[in-house]
Amino acid sequence: MEIYNNTNNGMSKTDIKKMEKIVSKIGELEKKANNNIADTRVKLIFSEADLEGLLPKKMKMLPQVPGKPGFREVELTKTVLGAIQKHLKNEETRR
């Protein structure tokens, strides 16, 4: 058993290989998680009153909810979320 040396910080070669596999697996999982987030198409429904403050141009881009006049579907993408957080007057909706 190695206690310490400057080249491997006291880790055995077996431990170093295990650590490299773990670090590699973490990288793969992070990439998959980022892809899952990018591929997710979560939509929330808000009343137009809750979306007060959103630029008219952006409001028109949000699809109306079929059968629910005065409600819009908001897809949670970076573009839409940025506009919502910046312009909406309703603090609860911004959260």
pLDDT band at 95 (very low <50, low <70, confident <90, very high): confident
pLDDT higher than threshold 60 for residue 67? yes
When pLDDT is averaged across residues 51-61 and rounded to a whole number, the result is: 86
CB-side neighbour CA atoms (13 Å) of 78: 3
Mean pLDDT of the chain: 80
Residues of the chain with pLDDT > 70, as a percent, come to 83
Q: What is the pTM of this model?
A: 0.51
Task: Count Cβ atoms below 10 Å from residue 74 Cβ, excluding itself.
Answer: 22
78-93 burial: b if 16+ Cβ within 10 Å, else e: eebeebbeeebeeeeb
